Chain A
């Protein structure tokens, strides 16, 4: 299989003046640990083959890259990239769309809960 790291390292050279926080050096196995558990959850062996995990990671990164590029094209009309662009891209895929709306609403609720917690903690602090 062709070596993606060479292509990626040229990408990183452009931004290599910045710390590796921003320049994604495309190390092998960025998602590897998570992917192993995930693949097991979805039906693979408890120990997936490392080459399979590496391939899936490559595919996922490519998928996310293409998705992000397309979202950026859409978002460019509006000015900047937003979540709506991603949602627009997956509008045809009903399960994904539902899952994303569910995630977003849960995140909102979490935020509310956290805010409430801060308020309560303050109350407790002042009472005690």
Chain B
């Protein structure tokens, strides 16, 4: 699974809670190292999260945290030390996507919420997420972590516009828009299925019906010229 959005949030969480030019933050991180699980070998390395795939090929050198979190990092997420929670979140975030423990991921997702969502919202989310079943948790995880690849999107945009100058923010925005569009499609398709009282995997006919309804609602941009030949 791709992790393109969540690293943003992880870094955002860290960014908001520790000022950017804080050697203090660094020292705290390194001092936490003996307490933290062995994973955090170098405090400095934990500040940044990056994907281990080509989503970040536009950006500078990627820094990877190779180790897996141990369960001892989970309580750290609630510790008063902000950096500890950040680095633990970073560690949890940056591993290869094997969700060994759902509980860990619960806390990871929570601590990644931007604090523009105030603590009450976070508390609400925490309350909700703690009630999730395994199935719900895995689905939520897929929802959060899935994303369209930025490189593919960039290639598509270049071929559409004919211009090479597709900036990174543009790619990110279009990926986000496309993901939400997929969400609308799938949700509407599920609604169509319940109307028709069918069950099981979604079939193309449901998607087509959902697409038709979205078009009626005006959520799909209309072409000024009809697409005659596909």
Contact = CB atoms under 8 A, between A and B. Distances in A.
B85 to A, nearest CB: 16
Contact of B185 (A2, A51, A59, A119): A59
Contacts of A15: 159
Interface stretch (B74-82, B100-108, B120-128, B174-182): B174-182
Q: Can you list the 4 inter-chain pairs with the closest CB atoms, starting with the nearest?
A: A41-B143, A41-B142, A116-B20, A24-B159
B131 interface: no
A96 B188 CA distance: 16
A28 interface: no
B11 interface: yes
B223 A66 contact: yes
Contact of A83 (B16, B152, B167, B227): B167
Interface string B1-27: 110010111011011100011010010
A115 B146 contact: no
B13 to A, nearest CB: 10
Nearest to A5: B230
Interface residues of A, number: 75
A52 B203 contact: yes
Contact of B11 (A34, A59, A103, A110): A110
Interface string B145-164: 11111001101111111011
A47 interface: yes
B164 A22 contact: yes
Given A37-B1, A103-B172, A103-B176, 9 more contacts: A31-B152, A52-B202, A52-B203, A59-B185, A99-B177, A106-B8, A110-B7, A116-B21, A120-B23
B187 A42 contact: yes
12 contacts: A4-B230, A35-B148, A37-B142, A38-B142, A41-B146, A45-B201, A55-B207, A55-B208, A56-B207, A82-B167, A110-B11, A117-B48
Interface in A53-69: 55-56, 59-69
A115 B20 contact: yes
B203 A37 contact: no
A77 B176 CA distance: 25
B177 A67 contact: yes
Given A42-B186, A66-B221, A83 B160 contact: no
Interface in A89-116: 89-90, 93, 95-96, 99-100, 102-104, 106-107, 109-110, 112-116
Contact of A114 (B48, B152, B156, B230): B48
Contacts of A31: 148-149, 152
A64 B167 contact: no
A52 to B, nearest CB: 5
A115 B9 CA distance: 17
B44 to A, nearest CB: 6
A74 to B, nearest CB: 12
